[in-house]
Amino acid sequence: MFSTIVVNCLLVTIAVLIHYEALSWLSMKLAKASLPHRFKVIFGVFGALCAHSVEIWIFAFAYYFMLKSGDFGFFRGDFNGSMLDCSYYSFITYTSLGLGDIAPFGHLRFVTGMEALTGLVLISWTASFLFLEMQKLWNHK
C-alpha cells in the first residue's frame, strides 16, 4: 500500500506541475501574441488540451508499468494490457467519463480514484483560466 501512496503522490504532483507550467506559459504567450482575440482564445483552448493530454498519458504510462510489475492489481473487462488500452482507460478516468467497460482491482482502484479527482481539479482550473483569459480579451476590444 505504501508504494501505491508514493506512486499516487508522484503522479498527482507531476500532473499539477505540468498543468501549472502550461497555464503559466499560455498566459504569457497570450499576453504577448499579436493575434486577433478569437485566435488567442483558440490558442488557449488547444494549449490546455495539449496539457491535459500529456497529463493523461503520464497516468497511462503509470498504469502500464504498474500492471507489468504485478504488484498493484489488475484490470478486468475489455482490456488486453496494451499501452493503447492503458491510455484509453486513463482518458475515460481523467475526464470522469467512466464507461465501465474496464474495472480496476487491487491498489489500481486507488490510483484510478486519484486520477479522476486530479482530472476534475485540473479541468476546473483550465475552465477558470480560460474564462479569465477570455474576460481580459473581450474587455480590451
pTM recorded for the entire structure? 0.89
pLDDT tens column, 46-91: 999 999 999 999 999 999 999 999 999 999 999 999 999 999 999 9
pLDDT tens column, 28-55: 988 888 887 778 888 989 999 999 999 9
Confidence of residue 139 (pLDDT cuts 50, 70, 90): low
Domain membership of residue 133 as a residue range:
2-139
For the chain, what is the domain count?
1
Full 3-state SS string of the chain = CHHHHHHHHHHHHHHHHHHHHHHHHHHHHHHHCCCCHHHHHHHHHHHHHHHHHHHHHHHHHHHHHHHHHCCCCEEEECCCCCHHHHHHHHHHHHCCCCCCCEEEECCHHHHHHHHHHHHHHHHHHHHHHHHHHHHHHHHCC
CATH code (residue 125): 1.10.287.70
